[in-house]
């Protein structure tokens, strides 16, 4: 604790005291949990519950300390050590040639054309745009984009690949082969992004430093203000780029994203291009470049805006893909993250612990299922299975409260949205818990995943039912509701333990209820933008 207080003197005193209190709380709780068997008589059922809840408490405390460190650094830092502002534009003779790559599959042509028009308006002397359409079957979708590239002139080149392997990474690797020999920087943008005219001119100066391999801007969104579902997801996305990316940037450990990103071409080619074995090729490339000794720069300035996912199905599938891909990277690069090497301790810390919140979602699913089973056993066989001691339950319930309070507090300080938007963003985030849990567990046991395009527009003639995308979450809500009613009918309010157990079941149901709310709002609001 003293080492932390001294090493992080750049934090304000109240921040250091806050985190030291968290550390003391964690140490005290672990000590108390270890001594419980010596202070209380435990029957075999109590021992079984202790065996389940003690590892859960360790995981909870790890997540709480990691989130607490982020909270303290973001809220109470004196100044950012690695702050990267927009730069003055370089004179044309010093501007590096930039090759902009736009990979797309089955995207609405008018959406892609809007992106191309914004690129045509760039205030930059030396650039080209490569549009790589991979595996779109309907000519009515890709032909208008090809025609528009011809209209925009020789700077814009269109490639239609069919069939082509490797998902988005495969398309980007093909684009790399077609890149103009003069290009020193490769920029990647999603098909729905409209960029500022000064995107390249205000950022390319960072590549004059030979150690810089990546310049990353935040993902941001447009046309969401009057659609409640799109609005809540837009603000949910915004939180990571206002909070988590700054926290990681302090130790040169940002997550590279597949849009609004610029990469030094020589570093990209020397390190093998885009990895086609993972469905998160962008984050994996960033990690590889850090391992190669390069710096990654995060400029927290909105230089382009895209569209939010069209519906809850698209929203869930995108986060599932990120969680699955994260596990692919974790398995493939485990040695990099756990053993001394080119990665700094700070980089290893962030790439190991940065996904802990997602592991918490995975564990939440496991413990919810276990709580349902235990509740069923108590209801069916009360003579054999009893309520856990309240001493086991209070720390678990306190974690739910603490995590919610810290998250909302940090959001209010860092994200420029209203209280209502903050709460709706929290609902959106919690509603993804089940999708993330599935992505984590399947990513750990499966080797390959399918890259599913995140739909920004659906154009469905027959809209599915509101809850078609959240059937599993609906079953979980029903199961938890039955468990809660059964507990109330059997135990009433006679015991403190029964009230605490019901409170835990209610807390466990919140993410699944949030998913139902998100799916219903997406269905009600439809696909309208603006």
- Rounded to whole angstroms, what are the CA distances from 426 to 101, 237, 241, 511? 34, 11, 15, 10
Backbone angles phi, psi at 261, to 5 degrees: -125, 145
51 and 126 fall within a common domain: no
In a domain, 474, yes or no: no
159 and 190 fall within a common domain: yes
Helical spans, DSSP H, in 205-311: 228-239, 245-249, 265-270, 281-291
Is the bond into 163 cis (omega within 30 degrees of 0)? yes
54 and 125 fall within a common domain: no
In a domain, 125, yes or no: yes
232 and 310 fall within a common domain: yes
Can you tell me the distance from the alpha carbon of 280 to that of 325, in angstroms, rounded to the nearest whole number? 5
> Buried b vs exposed e over 425-461: b needs ≥16 C-beta within 10 Å?
bbbbbbbbbbbbbbbbbebeeeeebebebbbbbbeee
Three-state DSSP class for residue 88: coil
> Buried b vs exposed e over 12-24: b needs ≥16 C-beta within 10 Å?
eeebbebbeebbe
Can you tell me the distance from the alpha carbon of 455 to that of 446, in angstroms, rounded to the nearest whole number? 24
113 and 225 fall within a common domain: yes
pLDDT tens by residue, 5-55: 666 778 888 998 899 888 888 888 888 777 776 766 777 777 777 777 778
Q: What pLDDT is recorded for position 396? A: 76
Can you tell me the distance from the alpha carbon of 363 to that of 384, in angstroms, rounded to the nearest whole number? 26
In a domain, 205, yes or no: yes
Tell me which of 79, 100, 119 is where a domain ends. 79
Q: What pLDDT is recorded for position 169? A: 96
Report how far Cα 306 is from the mean position of its chain's Cα atoms: 17
Q: What pLDDT is recorded for position 452? A: 66
Q: What pLDDT is recorded for position 347? A: 97
In a domain, 456, yes or no: no
* Stretch (H or E) spanning 45: helix 44-76
In a domain, 363, yes or no: no
In a domain, 242, yes or no: yes
107 and 200 fall within a common domain: yes
How many domains does the chain fold into?
A: 2
In a domain, 55, yes or no: yes
104 and 27 fall within a common domain: no
108 and 210 fall within a common domain: yes
Q: What pLDDT is recorded for position 69? A: 92
191 and 304 fall within a common domain: yes
Length of the chain: 530
Report how far Cα 499 is from the mean position of its chain's Cα atoms: 34
Q: What pLDDT is recorded for position 394? A: 76
Q: What pLDDT is recorded for position 529? A: 73
DSSP state of 200: T
3-state helix, strand, coil in the chain (%, to 5): 60, 10, 30
Report how far Cα 506 is from the mean position of its chain's Cα atoms: 25
In a domain, 188, yes or no: yes
Backbone angles phi, psi at 233, to 5 degrees: -75, -35
User: E-assigned strands of 303-425?
Assistant: 304-305
102 and 248 fall within a common domain: yes
Tell me which of 288, 314, 340 is where a domain ends. 314
**Which residue is listed with tokens 């730069």?**
87
Tokens, residue 455: 């739909």
56 and 122 fall within a common domain: no
pLDDT tens by residue, 494-525: 788 889 999 999 999 999 999 999 999 999 99
Is the bond into 410 cis (omega within 30 degrees of 0)? no
For residue 57, the enclosing domain spans 1-79
Can you tell me the distance from the alpha carbon of 367 to that of 52, in angstroms, rounded to the nearest whole number? 9
Can you tell me the distance from the alpha carbon of 530 to that of 412, in angstroms, rounded to the nearest whole number? 24
Task: Answer for the pair 185, 96: CB distance below 8 angstroms, yes or no.
Answer: yes
Q: CA torsion, points 45, 51, 57, 58, in degrees to nearest 10?
A: 170
Q: What is the DSSP string of 379-439?
A: HH-TTT--PPPHHHHHHHHHHHHHHHHHHHHHHHHHS---HHHHHHHHHHHHTTHHHHHHH
Tell me which of 57, 79, 101 is where a domain ends. 79
Tens of pLDDT, residue by residue, the chain (530 residues): 667 666 677 888 899 889 988 888 888 888 877 777 676 677 777 777 777 777 877 888 888 899 999 999 999 998 999 999 999 999 999 999 999 999 999 999 999 999 999 999 999 999 999 999 999 999 999 999 999 999 999 999 999 999 999 999 999 999 999 999 999 999 999 999 999 999 999 999 999 999 999 999 999 999 999 999 999 999 999 999 999 999 999 999 999 999 999 999 999 999 999 999 999 999 999 999 999 999 999 999 999 999 999 899 999 999 999 999 999 999 999 999 999 999 999 999 999 998 888 998 999 999 899 999 999 999 999 888 888 767 667 777 888 888 889 899 999 999 999 999 999 999 999 999 999 999 999 999 988 776 666 776 665 445 667 898 999 999 999 999 999 999 999 888 778 888 999 999 999 999 999 999 999 999 999 877 76
64 and 150 fall within a common domain: no
Q: What pLDDT is recorded for position 5? A: 62
DSSP state of 221: B
pTM of the shown model: 0.92
């Amino acid at each position: 604790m003293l080492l932390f207080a001294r090493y992080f003197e750049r934090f304000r005193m109240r921040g250091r005291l806050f985190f030291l209190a968290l550390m003391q709380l964690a140490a005290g709780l672990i000590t108390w949990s270890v001594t419980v068997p010596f202070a209380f008589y435990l029957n075999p059922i109590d021992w079984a519950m202790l065996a389940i809840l003690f590892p859960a408490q360790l995981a909870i405390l790890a997540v709480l300390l990691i989130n607490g460190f982020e909270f303290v650094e973001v809220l109470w830092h004196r100044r950012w050590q690695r702050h990267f502002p927009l730069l003055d534009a370089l004179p044309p003779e010093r501007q590096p040639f930039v090759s902009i790559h736009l990979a797309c599959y089955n995207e609405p042509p008018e959406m892609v054309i809007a992106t191309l028009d914004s690129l045509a308006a760039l205030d930059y002397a030396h650039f080209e745009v490569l549009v790589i359409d991979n595996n779109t079957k309907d000519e009515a979708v890709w032909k208008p984009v090809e025609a528009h590239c011809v209209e925009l002139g020789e700077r814009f080149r269109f490639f239609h690949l069919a069939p082509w392997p490797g998902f988005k990474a495969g398309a980007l690797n093909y684009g790399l082969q077609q890149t103009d020999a003069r290009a020193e920087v490769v920029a990647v943008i999603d098909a729905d992004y409209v960029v500022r005219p000064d995107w390249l001119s205000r950022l390319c100066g960072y590549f004059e430093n030979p150690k810089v391999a990546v310049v990353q801007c935040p993902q941001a969104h447009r046309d969401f203000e009057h659609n409640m579902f799109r609005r809540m997801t837009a603000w949910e996305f915004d939180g990571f780029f206002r909070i988590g990316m700054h926290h990681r940037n302090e130790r040169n450990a940002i997550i590279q994203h597949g849009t609004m990103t610029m990469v030094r071409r020589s570093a990209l080619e020397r390190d093998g291009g885009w990895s086609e074995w993972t469905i998160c090729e962008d984050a994996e490339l960033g990690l590889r470049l850090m391992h190669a000794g390069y710096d990654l720069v995060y400029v927290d300035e909105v230089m382009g805006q895209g569209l939010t996912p069209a519906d809850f199905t698209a929203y869930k599938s995108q986060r599932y893909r990120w969680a699955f891909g994260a596990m692919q990277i974790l398995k493939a690069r485990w040695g990099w993250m756990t053993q001394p090497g080119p990665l700094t301790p700070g980089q290893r810390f962030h790439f190991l612990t940065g996904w802990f919140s997602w592991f918490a979602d995975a564990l939440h699913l496991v413990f919810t299922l276990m709580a349902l089973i235990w509740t069923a056993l108590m209801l069916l066989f009360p003579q054999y299975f009893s309520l856990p001691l309240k001493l086991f339950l209070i720390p678990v319930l306190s974690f739910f409260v603490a995590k919610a309070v810290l998250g909302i507090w940090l959001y209010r300080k860092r994200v420029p949205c209203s209280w209502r938007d903050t709460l709706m963003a929290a609902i959106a985030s919690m509603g993804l818990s089940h999708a993330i849990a599935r992505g984590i567990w399947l990513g750990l046991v499966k080797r390959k995943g399918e890259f599913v395009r995140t739909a920004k527009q659906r154009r469905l003639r027959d809209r599915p039912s509101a809850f078609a995308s959240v059937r599993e979450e609906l079953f979980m809500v029903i199961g938890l509701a039955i468990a809660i009613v059964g507990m109330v009918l059997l135990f009433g309010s006679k015991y403190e333990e029964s009230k605490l157990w019901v409170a835990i079941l209610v807390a466990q149901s919140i993410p699944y209820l949030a998913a139902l709310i998100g799916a219903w709002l997406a269905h009600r609001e439809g696909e309208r933008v603006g």
